[in-house]
A and B are shown apart, each in its own frame.
Chain A
Amino acid sequence: MNAPIVAGGGGDPAPPQTVVPLRHPWTWLASGVVVGIAGLVLFSVATNPGFEWPVVAQYMFDEQILIGLSRTLELTLVAMLMGLVLGTLLAVMRLSPNPLLSTLSWLYIWFFRSVPVLVQLIFWYNFGALYATISLGIPFGPTLYSANTNALITPMFAALAGLGLAQAAYTAEVIRAGIVSVPHGQTRAARALGMQPMTIFRRIVLPQAMRVIIPPVGNEVISMVKSTSLVSVIALSELLYTAQLIYARTYETIPLLIVASLWYLIIVSVLSVGQHVLERKFRQR
């Protein structure tokens, strides 16, 4: 460890000098304390009968739980796709030279970012109280189609509206930042080559914007997995609500919450690996 260093220069060779690195006693002490505390916590988790690990194992792959899990994944995927598509549209509108479009986009982002998602979900769920029927037709003319709002807005519809529309507002800002980060010279060069505006966006601007867009969108996906648990308030049986339904019957509250938490941990871990792979793919060369 203690590497000898030979001093340079002419004349008599100097005797090898030994270098003693600086000691860090406090680092070692702090590490010891942290490891000690972690050990105590682990010991308590393993031995406290209140955790009921056998019950956790029993419900981990329970059919009801797995259905709830698939519902959570479905919600995450569809709400995120809604967020990306609508968010790209909002970002392009926001950057449009047309003041009406950019103001509309600004208003949307302002509203859906300001109202808590939980409130939005309950609002969509109770949309029927606002408009009892939804009809499609010519304004002030004949009605072509009419339906009872409560029949149309299922919990799934309300959940996707609440999560997806709010996500679009966040994604729009991320995508806008990505587009703005591409130097203006890139667009100029592409225009000078005779490329059409849509081609420039698709082939030149978007691929470069991706580098800026992907890390925060990865975070948004991970955050969305957990936001889906909010949907339990409108009685949609995703992962958390399924667990709640079971422990309401069996009173095994803690083990079922652990089952849900373990699944969230697993999903997020898999997604984090995916995010890492995507980031490497789009990294600037």
Chain B
Amino acid sequence: MDTKRLLFLLRQPPYGTSHALEALESILVAGVFEQRVSVLFRDDGVWQLVGGQAGEVLGTRTIGKVVQALPQYEIEDIYVCATSLAARGIALNDLVLPAQPLDVGAQQALIAGQQVVVND
């Protein structure tokens, strides 16, 4: 298995479907398998980053806590779409972990530099 530059593009909100959690689980595995992983949260995917989540109210895992665990699996290149945050009134310090905000041009450059992009 070669090491690939692999970006996970996360656009789905948490809790309403299993997409967010299952995508995050695959990202953790990618970290274990030593791929060069980046993660880009955009559109409703940015809701996964918001602090104050309480999944236990629904009897489920808190997605924000899973996101917070990414750096423990060597996933540190975490990006967020600046426009998606602004459109939802979310500030950078509302997020559960540091994420680098990117404008559209920077997101295009990020994607162009990948060998594989997996969506949620």
- Chains A and B bind each other: no
